[in-house]
Amino acid sequence: MAPRDVTGGPFSLPSLPYDEGALAPLISEKTLKVHHGKHHKGYVDKLNELVKDTAFADMSLEEIVAETCGDDDNKKIFNNAAQAWNHTFYWRCLSPKTSEPSKELAAAIAKNFGSMAAFKKEFAAAATEHFGSGYAWLIYEGGKLKVKETVNADTPMASGTPCLLALDVWEHAYYLDYKNVRKDHVDVVVEKLLNWDFASANFKKSR
């Protein structure tokens, strides 16, 4: 049976939008192989196992996340569905190519954060200082761009909040390359790997 990610499970692991070695040496091929091929794949496989023969089997990933968010009885399904979605989103937030925000996004960043440098500082600080596993996000909420932190698998998408960028700060995202020094990983991603074309497209969709 062909994968039906758009309309429902079984879900498949999406390919990376670049080669496994494309972000090296900033993020090594080894890290991407494990992070995408083992961690991300693990969430997708586990989700398929958990939703098989349940009411969730025919839902889209977004629907499963929204439906199970905050529901203790379906915590495992939420965690794996949210992680499957978060990772697919996260891969697209990175790019080996240099990019710039659209005029509209650049103007909104200047308005809401003061400057691009101020945004980067706030985003990097949120990612670096986040305690434990989770993500730093750039979201569009209540007509404003904001930096947000989430814990573990939690995702702003669960409540329908438009996401522009995500930075995965689980140790598996950087430990092989940067060991305990999360800050060095975060600084490199924020300065050199953010995909502003993707963020700009997300901003356009969000308004």
The nearer residue to Mn ion, 11 or 203, going by C-beta atoms, is: 11
Distance in Å, CB of 133 to Mn ion, minimum? 8
The nearer residue to Mn ion, 68 or 86, going by C-beta atoms, is: 86
The residue nearest Mn ion at its CB is 168
Cα–Cα distance measured from residue 127 to residue 124, given in angstroms and rounded to the nearest whole number: 5
With contacts defined by CB under 5 A, name the span among 43-51, 108-116, 132-140, 160-168 that binds Mn ion: 160-168
Distance in Å, CB of 87 to Mn ion, minimum? 6
With contacts defined by CB under 5 A, name the span among 18-26, 99-107, 163-171, 179-187 that binds Mn ion: 163-171
The nearer residue to Mn ion, 155 or 200, going by C-beta atoms, is: 155
Sheet of strand 163-168: strand arrangement: 144-151, 134-141, 163-168
Cα–Cα distance measured from residue 185 to residue 189, given in angstroms and rounded to the nearest whole number: 6
Residues 6+ away with beta carbon under 8 Å from 27: 94, 174, 177, 185, 188, 189, 193
CA 148 to chain centre: 12
Distance in Å, CB of 190 to Mn ion, minimum? 17
The nearer residue to Mn ion, 85 or 170, going by C-beta atoms, is: 170
Distance in Å, CB of 179 to Mn ion, minimum? 17
- Contact criterion met (CB below 8 Å) for 153 and 78: yes
CA 73 to chain centre: 25
With contacts defined by CB under 5 A, name the span among 119-127, 146-154, 161-169, 178-186 that binds Mn ion: 161-169
Could you tell me where the DSSP H helices lie in 20-143? Answer: 29-34, 41-51, 61-68, 75-93, 103-113, 116-129
Told to check if 170 binds Mn ion by CB under 5 A, we report yes
194 burial level (CB within 10 Å; 0-12, 13-18, 19+): buried
Distance in Å, CB of 161 to Mn ion, minimum? 20
Told to check if 177 binds Mn ion by CB under 5 A, we report no
Told to check if 168 binds Mn ion by CB under 5 A, we report yes
Residues that bind Mn ion in the complex, under the rule CB under 5 A: 168, 170
